[in-house]
Amino acid sequence: MKVVSTSPSFAKYSNEPIEFLRSHQIEFEYLPADITEAEFIEKMQGVNAAIVAFNTISEKVLDSLPDLKIVCKHGVGVDNIDVKAAQDRGVVVTNVPNANKHAVADFAFALMLSLARKIPEANDKTKKGEWPRIFGSDVYGKTLGIVGLGMIGREVAKRAKGFDMKIVAYDPYPNDAFAAEYGIEYVQLEELLTISDFITLHMPLTPQTRNLIAEKEFALMKEEAFIVNASRGGIVSEAALYEALKNGKIAGAALDVFEEEPATDHPLFEHSNFIALPHIAGYTSGAINTLGMVCVQNIVDVLVNNKEPNHVIKL
Ligand SMILES: NC(=O)C1=CN([C@@H]2O[C@H](COP(=O)(O)OP(=O)(O)OC[C@H]3O[C@@H](n4cnc5c(N)ncnc54)[C@H](O)[C@@H]3O)[C@@H](O)[C@H]2O)C=CC1
Ligand SMILES: O=C(O)CCC(=O)C(=O)O
C-alpha cells in the first residue's frame, strides 16, 4: 500500500505521521504542491491514498486513479476536491475540522490588530531608520462582524470578548446556544456590513459564497471599517476590493487567501492599507501535527482496518 502527500506541511514538525504509516506497512512519498494534473495522474498510479493541500482532485483525476481509496484534505476547506465525483466512485473524502481553528482565529485577530495599528507600515519605516509617530484605530470596544460563525468564527468571537468588542454575526445556520453564551447578536449580512468596525470572514468557498463581498457590499461598509479574509480566495471580489481601497470606501483590508494562488505582483499590493499574506493562517506546529495524525489515522482506518474514518465529507 502506498500514500502520497502534496501538502508541503504534512509531517513538517514531526515524523510521527510517516512512522505511523510505516508501522502499518504503508509506503509514503511527497509530491510537489504545485504538481500539474497530468504529472499527478502519472505519479499516482497504483497509489491508494492522497493527502492533499490545494491541488485539484477533479473527476478526470478520479477516473484516472482506479486504486485510489481515500483523499484526505490536510486542512478544512475541500473546495479543491470534487466530492460528488469521489462519492460516486466510492472514494472516501475526509477533512480535518478543528485542528487549525486556534491558529486561524489567532491569525485573523493578528490581522485586525495589524490593520488597526498599521504594524507592517510602522515596522518597515522603523527598519528604514525612521521613527514615525503613527496613529492607529482602536480595537478595544469596537464592533466586530463575523461572517460564518463556525469552528473558526466562534474562536474569533471568544478572543473578541477579551477586547470587550460588541459582536454581531451572520450565518445561515445559527448556533443560538453559543451566541447566547457569548452575547453575540445574529443579524442579516447587510446590517453586519453596515454597523461593523471590523469584518472577518470564516466560511467555505461554495457557489453561494463566491463573490459574497463585492461592490454592493463594500458600498455598505463604514469608511473606517477594516475587512479580513483568512477563509478562501474568491469570497471577496478582489476587483471590488481594489476599487473600495482606491476610493477610500473602507479603511483597510488584509487577505491571507487569494482568487489565484500563489498571488504574486497583484494590483492590490499598491495600496499601503492592504496587507497580503501567503495563505499561512493555519500554519502553527500544534495545528500541523494534529492535521497529520488525523489524516494518517483515517488512511489506516480505510486501507487496513476496513472501517469508516472520521470526518468523512458527505453530500
Ligand atoms: N487560511 C487558512 O489557512 C485556512 C482557511 N480555512 C477556511 O476557513 C473556512 C471555515 O473553517 P471552519 O470555521 O473550520 O468551518 P466550519 O464549517 O466550522 O464553519 C463554516 C461556517 O460558515 C457558515 N456558512 C456557510 N455558508 C455561509 C454563508 N453563505 N454565509 C455565512 N456563513 C456561511 C456555516 O454555517 C458554518 O457555520 C474553511 O472552509 C476554509 O476554507 C480553514 C483553515 C485554514
Ligand atoms: O494546510 C493547508 O495548507 C491549508 C489550510 C487551509 O486552508 C484549510 O485548512 O482549509
Cβ of residue 81 lying under 6 Å from some atom of ligand 2: no
- Which ligand has an atom closest to residue 152 CA? 1
* Joined grid coordinates for residue 243: 476599487
Nearest CA to ligand 2 atom 6: 75
Cβ of residue 202 lying under 6 Å from some atom of ligand 2: no
Nearest CA to ligand 2 atom 9: 75
1 Cβ partners below 8 Å, 6+ apart? 24, 25, 26, 27, 48, 49, 303, 304
The CATH class given to the 2-99+284-303 domain equals: alpha beta
Cβ of residue 75 lying under 6 Å from some atom of ligand 2: yes
Gap from CA of 202 to ligand 1 centroid (Å): 4
Q: Is 181 considered catalytic here?
A: no
Note whether 2-99+284-303 and 101-276 share their fold. Answer: yes
Cβ of residue 204 lying under 6 Å from some atom of ligand 2: no
**C-alpha span between 95 and 43 (Å, rounded):** 23
Q: Is 279 considered catalytic here?
A: yes
pLDDT given for residue 32 in this prediction:
96
Cβ of residue 155 lying under 6 Å from some atom of ligand 1: no
pTM score of the predicted model? 0.97
Pocket test for ligand 1, best of 7, 74, 76 (most atoms within 8 A of CB): 76
Residue % of the chain over a pLDDT of 70: 100
Task: Give me the residue spans of the domains in the chain.
Answer: 2-99+284-303, 101-276
**pLDDT tens column, 69-118:** 999 999 999 999 999 999 999 999 999 999 999 999 999 999 999 999 99
Q: Which of 217, 232, 238, 259 is catalytic?
A: 232
Superfamily of domain 101-276 in the CATH hierarchy: NAD(P)-binding Rossmann-like Domain (3.40.50.720)
**pLDDT tens column, 21-67:** 999 999 999 999 999 999 999 999 999 999 999 999 999 999 999 99
Cβ of residue 282 lying under 6 Å from some atom of ligand 2: yes
pLDDT given for residue 175 in this prediction:
97
Q: Which of 42, 261, 270, 308 is catalytic?
A: 261
Query: Burial code of 12-50, b = ≥16 C-beta within 10 A, e = fewer?
Result: eeeeebbebbeeeebebeebeeebeeeebbeebeebbbb
What string of H, E and C letters represents the secondary structure of 119-153? HHHHHHHHHCCCCCCCCCCCCCCCEEEEECCCHHH
**C-alpha span between 266 and 276 (Å, rounded):** 9
Gap from CA of 134 to ligand 1 centroid (Å): 34
**pLDDT tens column, 137-160:** 999 999 999 999 999 999 999 999
pLDDT given for residue 195 in this prediction:
99
Q: Which pairs count as long-range contacts for 185-188, CB under 8 Å and 24+ apart, including other chains?
A: 186/149
**pLDDT tens column, 221-233:** 999 999 999 999 9
